[in-house]
Chain A
């Protein structure tokens, strides 16, 4: 009787161990899938931040606060969302016309950054549109290439 009991016990323990193995394996697979895109995003974010610091921060500020009425802030989520397809053009070719941001008109010219490649633009866009209170997710360089064809 005693022997039988311990046998039952060992069977159920074996079962539990197998379950745990299985669940862990599933979790690892799911996790790995998530990480792939997360890693890509993190890469864009950190490269984008470097580009931002080097090329954008002078005027737009470390926290995207802008500079008086000389340079607009990058905190107008609605503007950034509504003009998302134009952002690549703004960065690559500069801006010469007035812009309405946060209800204020900004008239200063923005310089063109011709030397930035599609991937650079994509990375800096991902950084900007996921910082300073913005949360728009991923933006690939393929999309940048597409957007740049439609520049005015």
Chain B
């Protein structure tokens, strides 16, 4: 009888261990195999993943911000503009709930690129951030020239953005919230207008934060 109980306990333990197996998020984007030789002449294959390239923009405090501000951070990025009345308010309402969850967490940051290069100067972004109630270093609102921002959106974050005089507010863009890891790789993209996808982002964020390098 004692033996049976022991077996049972062992079985439950094993089962539990199998269930708590570490979850990992996928890594998105093109990848390449890089072959290198070590000192002994043995070939080694490394996978080179797509990463977000270096950038330099002005933030809501008119301070120049580069990729260094996001070094070793997990961050959520999106593209928006302040005078947008369609999907941006709901995207930022949802993004704010993520911000509230990770407020003060030194490993987590937020990055909103404006695509309105004509109107959304740093002072406008500052006012917007204050009114949204998120003004601080953890959430950066970045302003830059059209070519740089639009290129970054479409080639690197894989978010479609466009100037469109036929649209209600003059621009159209997709509402993705893109999750970037500490190695600048895309680990997820979530529809920022849907609460259930935003909840998924939050749980994925926890998985990503728990991930060992």
Contacts and interface: CB of A to CB of B under 8 A. Distances in A.
B130 interface: yes
Q: Indicate the size class of the contact surface on chain B.
A: 10 to 19
B89 A67 contact: yes
A77 B168 CA distance: 31
B128 interface: yes
B89 A58 contact: yes
A59 B87 CA distance: 9
B97 to A, nearest CB: 12
Interface residues of A, number: 11
Contacts, number: 29
Interface string A45-69: 0000000000001110100000111
B131 A70 contact: yes
Contacts of A61: 93
B132 interface: yes
A101 to B, nearest CB: 14
A111 B130 contact: no
Chain B CB count within 10 A is highest, among A57, A67, A70, A111, for: A70
Contacts of B132: 67-70
A67 B95 CA distance: 12
Interface of A: 57-59, 61, 67-71, 108, 111
